[in-house]
Amino acid sequence: MIELIPAIDIIDGQCVRLTKGDYGQKTVYSNTPADVARQFEAYGFKRLHVVDLDGAKSKHIVNDSVLRSITSATRLTVDFGGGIKTDADIEKAFEAGASMVTVGSIAVTQPDLFLSWVSKYGADRMILGADVRNGKISINGWKEDSDEDLLPFLKKYVEAGVKSVLCTEISKDGTLSGPAIGLYQRVMAAYPSLHLIASGGVSSTDDIKALDAAGIPAVVFGKAIYEGRINLGELKNVASQ
């Protein structure tokens, strides 16, 4: 059964969604992310993905106070990403109530630092972020493309003990055009024991069913909820939360 993880993306303290990671294509859905989180909890969700988009752009955590407001208002298991570049950032995220953190850019630019965090905090609290554009890993809020190809990038970290990967197909993100199921199937074929979290493009309950049928362990979705494409009540009949 696929794990369902709603998402809250934050800019200027507000709950927003971008299209293809473009900060110029921003839609604000709520001024109070904690209220949105409470609604998710009321529908029975246990997990939440929170992204500090200001932090991703600024290269340090910005919205830790918003994270704290969410973790204080709910009992959700929150994974937090965006702007985690230093030991101080990761400590700030955990102090604000995050149960797990998602780290992408540092895993590209400072792999030894990322692996030191996996060792220090444990693989269960560290999610490797793998944001993909044209087959390459993108970093720093999707503003820069690296030379890293997806599967070799994952290989070195899976071999080092990483258990969970959040993989976003940037061309799909916020487009409601359907998830990149083929991409996720290739990852699962290469690393069948990986807890892969699919992200980007989910537009309907049928998309989630398709990911489940393809054997993808988990999915993050946001815009489809905020645009009324997914009925949260119906999801209870689809998969585990």
Residues with a catalytic annotation lie at: 9, 131
Tokens of 66: 């918003």
Biggest CA-to-CA distance, the chain: 43
SS3 content of the chain, % helix, strand, coil (to 5): 40, 30, 30
Closest CA to 86 of 67, 64, 110, 119: 110
- Cα separation, 151 vs 240, in Å, equals 28
Neighbours of 177 (CB within 10 A): 15
- Cα separation, 217 vs 199, in Å, equals 12
Report whether 184 contacts 167 (CB < 8 A).
yes
φ and ψ of 72, to 5 deg? -80, -30
